Amino acid sequence: MEPVVIPAILAKTKEELLQRISQVNGLAGEIQLDIMDGDFVPNKTVGLDELVSIPALKNARYEFHWMVRNPEKWIEHIPGGHMHLVHVETIKSFAEIEAAVRKSGGRLGLAINPETPLEALLPFAARAERILVMTVHPGFSGQKYMVEMEKKISALRAKFPKVDIEVDGGVNLETIRGAYAAGANILAAASAIFAAPDKKAAIEKLRACALGDGTQ
């Protein structure tokens, strides 16, 4: 699978959220929004009130990374064909989560934390379109990429050769090649894109590095 680089946004205010979206709108087929409730992870971002009024993207869609308890209560309020990534650690009733995604018109993906064994994900994996492997402990931007998670990525790719596998956390010019080589075809990056003066060039260079065509 060809590598796909998507911008990841963690915003505490609506103003910051809109600013970040405007900086990358039109540059990628998806934009990831990291949503945290201050309960599942020790950080809090924008809430539902801000999310229900976000602007439409240019020939793209959002990927909602739900780092929240009871994700189905959030998903049902977000209409559209977006990707909804639900942490396996939060699943109480998978049927309710699936129902919320269907009601929203979206697509369902799963996310798994570094310390969670793959066995926790496998019962639900066949019913998901995407699997996100966290390569940092969720909650904050700017953390160091956990290279040991590449074994988990490789194990998933061996089990699910056709599913989209995503990585999120510490993805930059130095780490993206290893993540892609391990089997991740979707690569979410935050600081590596938003800290760059030219966001489009940053995305293109990350993709080149994933393929081994960059200078890193």
Q: Which domains does the chain have, with CATH numbers?
A: 4-210 (3.20.20.70)
How many angstroms from the chain centroid is the CA of residue 133? 9
Pairing of strands 107-112, 186-189: unpaired
Note the pLDDT of residue 215.
52
Catalytically active residues are: 34, 168
Pairing of strands 83-87, 107-112: parallel
Note the pLDDT of residue 19.
97
Note the pLDDT of residue 139.
75
The helices-and-strands tally (H runs, E runs) of the chain is 9, 8
Note the pLDDT of residue 214.
59
Note the pLDDT of residue 198.
98
Q: Which two tokens stand for residue 17?
A: 């959220």
Q: Do the beta carbons of residue 13 and residue 21 sit within 8 Å?
A: no
Note the pLDDT of residue 121.
96
List all residues 6 or more positions away from 96 whose beta carbon is below 8 Å from its beta carbon: 72
**What is the rounded CA–CA span in Å between residue 203 and residue 192?**
8
**What is the rounded CA–CA span in Å between residue 101 and residue 117?**
25
Q: Do the beta carbons of residue 108 and residue 86 sit within 8 Å?
A: yes
Q: Do the beta carbons of residue 79 and residue 102 sit within 8 Å?
A: no
Note the pLDDT of residue 81.
95
**What is the rounded CA–CA span in Å between residue 199 and residue 180?**
21
Q: Do the beta carbons of residue 46 and residue 74 sit within 8 Å?
A: no
Each residue's pLDDT expressed in tens, for the chain with a length of 216 residues = 999 999 999 999 999 999 999 999 999 999 999 999 999 999 999 999 999 889 999 889 999 999 999 999 999 999 999 999 999 999 999 999 999 999 999 999 999 999 999 999 999 999 999 999 999 998 776 789 999 999 999 999 999 999 999 999 999 999 999 999 999 999 999 999 999 999 999 999 999 999 998 554
